[in-house]
């Protein structure tokens, strides 16, 4: 069948194809453009609009609708045109057809891939209808329960939510398992507009929008921080392994609606207890003198490695430090963190919006008032020093949290009872918590001092030292049974 201009012919000669490309080359050469211009009839689309951009020529529409009938041979007849113009149109039609064939006649998809894509869509549809309710006190309990047993797919890997773990300012945490029964932690954020990751937050923006922006940026920074630390073989022992993250889109989003996302993060599950809970049970760790010194040294090394990787935590405290069953610490929850190298100006003088600091929360007692809006290594050093003071003197009370004089009076009798090494550790903590950041000891200096205090304990000595055991055998068996 031959196409002609009265039936199902191609777009009329004179159609301009602007910036239409295939394989990186324009469909028409300069010579072909000239030929079309010479043969044109004045009915070009306005503004150089192409067929691909929606030119509403009825003949063109029918051409693409009946594209399957396009002959492979050059059998297109167009009257009243020069031979050069006719050849040009034939070549254009053939190239255009090759370019658009993938849309007119898409390849047949694997049925299994289609089913998997639809499963993920249904999964995310459920997440968008449920996750935000977890952050509402009125619906939190029912939403937490509803999520149990459902799956979350992150970068193609599927995880089943098995157990509610907790909720922070920027996310909810579940224990989950893979199809291979590997146990991990999955963190889900409140939904947020993706635009808030790329557009500036104007001055005077209401609290709700600012908090939503902080939630989105928190998830991105935490994922980037953990990924960076996981890739360092030396530093990774002090932080949970990062298995993957994704900004899941709303599958029901319509054109013109905000691009809302839920941040999904998957990380290592740590068997143990957070240091805050341990201190609530033990009051302080001074009766485990050797372990306390080693823990302080390991935490100092962890923060050192973190800073060398250009990661700031900005919310170090006992509750954000996990103590594994073997007594080793891991720093968690980088939701209020910062990546200083991401703040560096680009050639265009801009900063990635998600990398800008939005301090919407901080922990009283672990940051000075002057440093609350500041992201710095000195701020992490101060928080670490305050945590070491918790190891020696227990958790802060309302009276001692922000009143140096009250804290000094409280700890005086406790300091007198410390052994000589723990007294040295207390003095070191004081130097780390100087009010003036410029007068604080550096972490390198602190680690050097700790290295001289801490006596390496052999494996045999640890096994024979009952005080060194954080979880006794009975508790260990109970934990295993629970698992």
Q: Which residue has the higher pLDDT, 195 or 143?
A: 143
Q: 223-237, 284-298, 413-427, 459-473: which has the minimum mean pLDDT?
A: 459-473
**Tens digit of pLDDT for each residue in 52-94?**
333 344 433 443 343 333 344 344 444 444 555 667 777 777 7
Question: Is residue 108 scored above 80 in pLDDT?
Answer: no
Q: Characterize the bridge pairing of strands 192-193 and 157-167.
A: unpaired
Question: Is residue 5 scored above 60 in pLDDT?
Answer: no
Rounded average pLDDT over 1-25: 40
Give me the half-sphere count of Cα atoms (radius 13 Å) on the Cβ side of residue 42: 0
Question: Is residue 347 scored above 70 in pLDDT?
Answer: no
3-class DSSP state of 42: coil
Q: Exposed/middle/buried for 424, CB within 10 Å: 0-12, 13-18, 19+?
A: middle
Provide, rounded to the nearest whole percent, the portion of the chain with pLDDT above 90: 48
Rounded average pLDDT over 167-193: 91
**Start-end ranges of CATH 1.10.510.10 in the chain?**
272-482
Q: Which residue has the higher pLDDT, 482 or 312?
A: 312
Between the alpha carbon of residue 343 and those of residues 221, 268, 338, 357, 359, the distances in Å are 12, 28, 9, 9, 15
- Give helix then strand counts, H and E, for the chain: 14, 12
Residue 130, token pair as written in the block: 């449920």
- As a whole number of angstroms, the distance between CA 360 and CA 367 comes to 14
pTM higher than the cut 0.75: no
Kindly indicate the confidence band of residue 475, based on its pLDDT and cuts at 50, 70 and 90.
very low
Question: Is residue 447 scored above 90 in pLDDT?
Answer: yes
Residues in the chain: 483
Question: Is residue 419 scored above 90 in pLDDT?
Answer: yes
User: Can you give the pLDDT at residue 75?
Assistant: 40
Superfamily for 112-268?
Answer: Phosphorylase Kinase; domain 1 (3.30.200.20)
User: Can you give the pLDDT at residue 120?
Assistant: 95
**Tens digit of pLDDT for each residue in 389-409?**
999 999 998 888 888 889 999
Percentages helix, strand, coil for the chain (3-state, rounded to 5) are 50, 15, 40
**Start-end ranges of CATH 3.30.200.20 in the chain?**
112-268
Kindly indicate the confidence band of residue 479, based on its pLDDT and cuts at 50, 70 and 90.
very low
Average confidence score pLDDT of the chain:
78
Question: Is residue 474 scored above 50 in pLDDT?
Answer: no
Q: Nearest-CA neighbor of 402 among 437, 433, 444?
A: 433
Question: Is residue 448 scored above 60 in pLDDT?
Answer: yes
> DSSP class of residue 397?
P
Highest-scoring range by mean pLDDT, 213-227, 431-445, 469-483: 431-445
The top-level CATH class assigned to 272-482 is mainly alpha
**Tens digit of pLDDT for each residue in 353-380?**
666 666 656 788 899 988 888 888 999 9
Question: Is residue 260 scored above 60 in pLDDT?
Answer: yes
User: Can you give the pLDDT at residue 85?
Assistant: 62
């Amino acid at each position: 069948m031959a196409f002609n201009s009265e039936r199902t012919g191609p777009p009329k000669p004179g159609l301009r194809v602007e910036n239409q490309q295939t394989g990186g080359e324009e469909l028409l050469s300069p010579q072909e453009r000239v030929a079309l211009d010479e043969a044109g009839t004045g009915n070009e689309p306005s503004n150089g609009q192409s067929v691909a951009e929606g030119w509403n020529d009825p003949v063109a529409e029918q051409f693409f609708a009946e594209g399957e009938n396009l002959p492979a041979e050059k059998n297109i007849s167009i009257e009243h045109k020069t031979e050069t113009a006719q050849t040009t149109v034939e070549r254009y039609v053939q190239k255009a057809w090759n370019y658009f064939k993938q849309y007119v006649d898409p390849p047949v998809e694997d049925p299994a891939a289609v089913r998997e894509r639809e499963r993920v869509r249904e999964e995310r549809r459920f997440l968008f209808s449920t996750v935000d309710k977890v952050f509402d006190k009125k619906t939190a309990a029912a939403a937490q329960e509803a999520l149990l047993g459902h799956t979350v797919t992150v970068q193609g890997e599927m995880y089943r939510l098995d157990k509610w773990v907790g909720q922070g300012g920027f996310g909810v945490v579940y224990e989950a398992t893979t199809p291979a029964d590997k146990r991990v932690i999955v963190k889900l954020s409140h939904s947020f507009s993706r635009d808030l990751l790329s557009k500036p937050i104007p001055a005077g923006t209401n609290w709700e929008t600012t908090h939503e922006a902080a939630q989105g940026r928190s998830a991105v920074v935490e994922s980037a921080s953990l990924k960076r630390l996981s890739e360092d073989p030396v530093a990774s022992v002090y932080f949970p392994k990062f298995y993957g993250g994704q900004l899941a889109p709303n599958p029901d989003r319509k054109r013109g609606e905000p691009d809302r996302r839920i941040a999904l993060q998957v990380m290592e599950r740590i068997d143990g207890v957070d240091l805050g809970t341990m201190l609530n049970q033990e009051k302080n760790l001074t009766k485990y003198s050797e372990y306390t010194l080693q823990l302080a040294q390991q935490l100092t090394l962890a923060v050192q490695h973190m800073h060398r990787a250009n990661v700031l935590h900005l919310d170090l405290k006992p509750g954000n430090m996990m103590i594994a069953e073997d007594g080793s610490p891991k720093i968690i929850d980088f939701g209020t963190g910062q990546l200083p190298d991401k703040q560096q100006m680009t050639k265009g003088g801009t900063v990635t919006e998600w990398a800008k600091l939005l301090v919407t929360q901080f922990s009283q007692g672990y940051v000075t008032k002057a440093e609350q809006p500041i992201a710095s290594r000195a701020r992490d050093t101060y928080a670490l020093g305050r945590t070491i003071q918790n190891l020696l003197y227990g958790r802060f009370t309302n009276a001692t949290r922000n009143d140096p004089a009250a804290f000094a009076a409280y700890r005086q009798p406790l300091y007198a009872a410390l052994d000589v090494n723990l007294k040295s550790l207390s003095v070191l903590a004081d130097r780390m918590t100087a009010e003036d950041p410029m007068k604080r000891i550096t972490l390198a200096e602190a680690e050097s001092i700790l290295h001289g205090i801490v006596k390496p304990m052999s494996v045999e000595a640890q096994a024979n030292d009952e005080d060194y055991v954080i979880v006794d055998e009975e508790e260990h068996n109970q934990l295993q049974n629970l698992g």
